[in-house]
Amino acid sequence: MTQIPTEPPLYVPEPMTTTADKASTYRLTRDFASSSSSSSSQALVVRCTGWLVRARGWVSRYRYEIAPAAGTSTLSLLGWWQESIGATVSYGLLTGVAGAAAVLGLKYKNAPVTQAAAGFTVALGDIATATAFGPGPESATAWALTTGLAYWIYGPWLTAQRNARMKLHIDTVKAKGALPNALGLEAADPGLIGATPEETALRRAIHALTGAAPLDVMAFHRGEHGWSALVVMPAGRSTAPSAIISRRVQLAANLGQPGKLTLAQGPADNELVVKVSTVDALAGTLPLTETGVTTCREPVLLGADEDGQPIHLTLMYRHTLIAGASDWGKSGIVNLLIKRLNRCLDADLYGIDMKPGAPELGPWEPVMAAPVAKTPTQARALLLWLRDECNRRGAIIAELSRKSMAEGKGPVRKWVPGVHGKAIFVFTDELAELVRQDPGLAELYESLLAIARFLAIHFISATQQPSRKVFGGSTDARGNYANRLSTRAGEAGHAPFVFGQGCQAKGWRPELLDLPGKFLLQTAELTEPKVYRAEYVTDLDIAADVGFYYSDKADTEPQPALTDEPWVEQFALLRFPNGDLVRPGQWPDLWEQFQALGSATKKELAAVCQISRDTAMRAIEEWEKHGVVGRRDGRSTRYYAKPEEEQ
């Protein structure tokens, strides 16, 4: 029997050769006299340690990839550990509460609450299933669904992180100055290699166009409809973003990438926004969407952008200019705005359509507050009435402001729909034709554009091109339009008439729009050029709002003769008993209410109109100069609005 030493040697020296200086060379050989069981145990420990080290490295390397699976597995294990009826009921109730919170988040359009509540709903549902069924196929199914959903949400973020790490690695190699053999083209021409094939193609295309490489590509995004990038350009005349935008066609040829290239000025002066759309998300007609909005104080839904996101337009306290060539959707956008505002309970609509027969606004006449103005005379009557309405509303705002200040509150500065009265929206189709037929209306129109906004009187004007002639020889009126919208323009030179001088160098190119209903929009919030498409209002959609008006009239009923009488009734100018016109400084708003009363004392007039007695007294003193008479009525004097022969 072999005796096992207490400390057996692992290796023993074996002499091999002896040199002249008596030095020996040894070969170490394994001593197999040691115990076989001890060596086997040590080998197993070594192998296990190696496996653990490799597993640790694998987990460390792929920690982001396995995080969702590890999380859902932990939830399932916790559920199995708590397997009981009570735990199932508790987690089921919590799942219901989280689901209700997600529904409320959707209802009130709160994205953070919706996302958080939906995540808790899925996680709690997984735990509830595990506590109810324990280890088994039911729990495995819930785990698989939860894990799949987690990776579906987590995947885009993980891809973005990978791209960022890859770009960081490439930038690090660039900074270290790698040898030409290592980086090839990058060593010979620095700045021409990007983190993605698209970025590389973009860098090379810009270099071929300008002779200079971009300083940096600060952001790169790839989506289902294409890709976009924010490029920082070096200083120079030929490398300025405006110069590159003007050479878009050549850059697209240099790029050699599939899709439609769009260029725009970036946030900084030396930044260029590059977008390549491989799929036209706006190629199909967008059907009309019912929003359920019943107040004009909310923005209206116009349509969608190239990424499929909805686009809303604020109309309150802003005039809107709609330009574009014929048959490219300009009138369709007007119909869409009328359709939206017709749902609003706090808005009145008026229209001016100078085309013979009013084909654009005429069908909407039943839902408007007055017949559509179809002649210059009718348009002048409407605009003069709007001027008087401005005076009336201004006097009310002044009186309300005085009372508010007397109560220690701030002044009243705007007419608020639903509080002070209704908002007014005036739609004008073919503004240029209106000015051509009556040039004198340009000055009145411009005056209303300047003073009417704070009184909640808004103009939505459509024209083919808002040139200098449209506004009576000046472009001052165009500056009053805070919302500027353009469908396809007939010529490249029309863009500055809508978006201002220098707009084309920044990417405002309406002549490049290729489908009816597509438009560019410039507002206080939307300052960068972007293509949108409006929802399409069909003839059936119009009939749904106004068809009842026409169907109520029997075909056998004799039609009334064409007359301007409705305009005389609706917009008849205010006159005093002696026939004089009521001027702006003669309290036209109070006179209108006084006419409705027929007669009143100073006290009654002040109470009905909610003004001070001093204001009522000064107004009546002015009116007495124009035929208003007063008679004693007890201890007071009663004043009459009609001439004596009509009393």
Query: In whole angstroms, what is the distance from residue 527 CA to residue 307 CA?
Result: 17
pLDDT in tens, 274-285: 988 887 778 888
Residue, of 11 and 643, whose pLDDT is higher: 643
The alpha carbon dihedral of 550, 553, 556, 557 has a sign of negative
Query: In whole angstroms, what is the distance from residue 277 CA to residue 305 CA?
Result: 12
Residue 173 confidence class, pLDDT cut points 50, 70, 90:
low
Query: In whole angstroms, what is the distance from residue 442 CA to residue 372 CA?
Result: 19
What distances in angstroms separate CA 280 from CA 252, 527, 553, one per listed residue?
A: 17, 22, 45
Residue 177 confidence class, pLDDT cut points 50, 70, 90:
very low
Q: Are 472 and 443 in contact (CB under 8 A)?
A: yes
One-letter amino acid for residue 196 of the chain: T
pLDDT score, position 387 = 92
What is the residue whose two structure tokens read 């309970």? 345
Q: Are 218 and 232 in contact (CB under 8 A)?
A: yes
Taking Cα atoms as reference points, which of 342, 366, 333, 334 lies closest to residue 294? 342
Q: Are 297 and 241 in contact (CB under 8 A)?
A: no
Residue, of 382 and 176, whose pLDDT is higher: 382
Query: In whole angstroms, what is the distance from residue 181 CA to residue 260 CA?
Result: 36
Residue 235 confidence class, pLDDT cut points 50, 70, 90:
confident
User: Which H or E run contains 84?
Assistant: none
Average confidence (pLDDT) over 355-383: 90
What distances in angstroms separate CA 325 from CA 113, 305, 437, 464, 635, one per listed residue?
A: 44, 21, 20, 5, 68
Query: In whole angstroms, what is the distance from residue 555 CA to residue 176 CA?
Result: 87
Question: How far is C-alpha 128 from the chain's CA centre?
Answer: 40
| Bridge pairing between strands 11-18 and 24-30 | antiparallel
Taking Cα atoms as reference points, which of 520, 479, 459, 458 lies closest to residue 324? 520
pLDDT score, position 32 = 46
- What is the chain's length? 647
Global pTM value: 0.54
Q: Which residues contact 628 (CB under 8 A, 6 or more apart)?
A: 576, 577, 620, 639, 640, 641
* Secondary structure of residue 99 in the 3-state scheme: helix
Surface-to-core class of residue 142, CB atoms within 10 Å of its CB (0-12 exposed, 13-18 middle, 19+ buried)? buried
The alpha carbon dihedral of 471, 476, 479, 480 has a sign of negative
| Bridge pairing between strands 271-277 and 300-305 | unpaired
Q: Within 10 A of 579 (CB to CB), how many other CB atoms are there?
A: 9
pLDDT score, position 170 = 65
Query: In whole angstroms, what is the distance from residue 304 CA to residue 629 CA?
Result: 62
pLDDT in tens, 107-151: 887 878 887 877 788 787 777 887 878 887 877 887 788 777 777
Residue, of 224 and 511, whose pLDDT is higher: 511
Q: Are 595 and 641 in contact (CB under 8 A)?
A: yes
Query: In whole angstroms, what is the distance from residue 367 CA to residue 351 CA?
Result: 11
Q: Are 517 and 531 in contact (CB under 8 A)?
A: no
Surface-to-core class of residue 199, CB atoms within 10 Å of its CB (0-12 exposed, 13-18 middle, 19+ buried)? buried
Query: In whole angstroms, what is the distance from residue 359 CA to residue 349 CA?
Result: 17
Residue 482 confidence class, pLDDT cut points 50, 70, 90:
very high
Token digits of residue 55: 């597993």
What is the residue whose two structure tokens read 């506004």? 471
One-letter amino acid for residue 356 of the chain: P
Q: 647 pLDDT exceeds 70?
A: no
Percent of all residues in the chain with a pLDDT value above 70, rounded to a whole number: 83
| Bridge pairing between strands 457-463 and 423-429 | parallel
Cα-based angle 501, 506, 509 (whole degrees, multiple of 5): 80
Taking Cα atoms as reference points, which of 291, 283, 373, 380 lies closest to residue 336? 291
pLDDT score, position 425 = 97
Residue 39 confidence class, pLDDT cut points 50, 70, 90:
low
pLDDT in tens, 381-427: 999 999 999 999 999 999 999 998 988 888 999 999 988 899 999 99
Burial 232-247 (b: 16+ CB within 10 A, else e): ebeeeeebbbbbbbee
Query: In whole angstroms, what is the distance from residue 544 CA to residue 538 CA?
Result: 10
Residue, of 538 and 147, whose pLDDT is higher: 538
Residue 459 phi/psi, 5-degree rounding, is: -110, 130
| Bridge pairing between strands 226-232 and 216-223 | antiparallel
pLDDT in tens, 461-478: 998 877 666 655 555 556
Cα radius of gyration (the chain): 39
Token digits of residue 500: 């201002």
Residue 549 confidence class, pLDDT cut points 50, 70, 90:
low
Surface-to-core class of residue 357, CB atoms within 10 Å of its CB (0-12 exposed, 13-18 middle, 19+ buried)? exposed
Of the candidate ranges 16-30, 46-60, 293-307, the one whose mean pLDDT is the lowest:
16-30
Q: What is the mean pLDDT of the chain?
A: 80
One-letter amino acid for residue 270 of the chain: N
pLDDT score, position 551 = 56
Q: 604 pLDDT exceeds 50?
A: yes
pLDDT score, position 393 = 92
Query: In whole angstroms, what is the distance from residue 621 CA to residue 618 CA?
Result: 5
Average confidence (pLDDT) over 561-581: 61
Taking Cα atoms as reference points, which of 352, 295, 339, 318 lies closest to residue 456? 318
pLDDT in tens, 521-536: 999 888 888 889 999 9
What is the residue whose two structure tokens read 């040139």? 467
* Secondary structure of residue 269 in the 3-state scheme: coil
Residue 292 confidence class, pLDDT cut points 50, 70, 90:
confident
Average confidence (pLDDT) over 31-42: 59
Cα atoms in the Cβ-side hemisphere of radius 13 Å centred on 285: 8
pLDDT score, position 337 = 95
Query: In whole angstroms, what is the distance from residue 551 CA to residue 287 CA?
Result: 25
Residue 29 confidence class, pLDDT cut points 50, 70, 90:
very low
What is the residue whose two structure tokens read 């009609």? 642
